[in-house]
Amino acid sequence: MAGFTTPNLGLSVWPSGAMEPDIPVNATFQRLDALVRHGGIVQDVGTTTPPSVVSGDIGKSWVVGVGATGDWAGHDDDIALLVEVDLWAFITPNDMWRVGNIADETDYVFNGSSGWTAVTDGSGSGDVVGPASSADNTLVRMDGTTGKVVQGSGVTLSD
């Protein structure tokens, strides 16, 4: 029933005064299950070919990669929800939707202009390089203009 959906998740709703529950309730529950979890959980992000699935995979979802083929063609960046074996529902994300990717244990956030990007927590290998000797209790300063190399300043915190 086009036009009778919630604004954020696009869930089907009964129009006011409707007497017959002819809305696909199971499809709505599957959409909720796919999206409303701790950040949303997907099997993988960027997959371009629909995976081989079995009935135990019903309800799982994937983020469709750019240039997808087969049943996923034309659904770049959508969330592909398996509703029956070899039957997919596609959910177009809104900006700032966030999913957790089971495959690489990384969170991804959606930005309509740049697609899905990994969320970094700042704990990566880093590019800042410092002095080999200890700089304990001293302030550091940038060495050069790259912002990637630091050096001891010779100034201690007590100064």
Task: Give me the average pLDDT of each 10-residue run along the chain (159 residues).
Answer: 62 67 66 68 96 93 96 97 93 90 94 91 61 68 70 74
Residue 125 pLDDT: 54
Residue 157 CA to residue 159 CA, distance in Å, equals 5
> How does DSSP classify residue 122?
S
Residue 9 CA to residue 123 CA, distance in Å, equals 32
Report the predicted TM-score, pTM, of the whole model to 2 decimal places: 0.61
Residue 68 pLDDT: 98
